[in-house]
Amino acid sequence: MPVAIVGVGKIARDEHVPAIAADPSFDLAATVSRSGGLEGVENHETLDALLQARPDIPAVSLCMPPQVRFKAARAAIAAGRHVMLEKPPGASVSEVLTLDRLARRAGVTLYASWHSRAAAGVAMAQAWLADKRLTSVRIDWKEDVRKWHPGQDWVWQPGGLGVFDPGINALSILTAILPAPVHLTEAQLSFPENRDTPIAAELTFTDGADLTVAAAFDWRQEGGEIWQIEVETDAGTLRLTEGGARLAIGDADQGVASPGEYPALYSHFASLIAQGASDVDASPLIHVADAFMLGRRIAVDPFHD
pLDDT band at 136, cuts 50/70/90?
A: very high
CB 109 within 8 A of CB 277: yes
Signed CA dihedral, 145, 149, 150, 156: sign only: negative
pLDDT at residue 169 in the model: 97
Q: What is the pLDDT of residue 99?
A: 98
Spatial distance between the Cα atoms of 140 and 293, rounded to a whole number of angstroms:
22
Whether 146 has a pLDDT exceeding 80, the answer reads yes
Alpha-carbon distances, residue 259 vs 118, 120, 174 (angstroms): 9, 8, 21
pTM of the model: 0.94
Q: Which domains are assigned to the chain?
A: 2-112 (3.40.50.720), 119-260+289-300 (3.30.360.10)
Q: Which amino acid, residue 236?
A: G
Mean local confidence (pLDDT), 66-73? 94
Distances, alpha carbon 264 to alpha carbons 18, 76, 118, 129, 197, in Å: 12, 23, 6, 22, 31
Q: What is the pLDDT of residues 181-198, one digit of tens each?
A: 999 999 999 999 999 999
Catalytic residues: 87
pLDDT at 257: 67
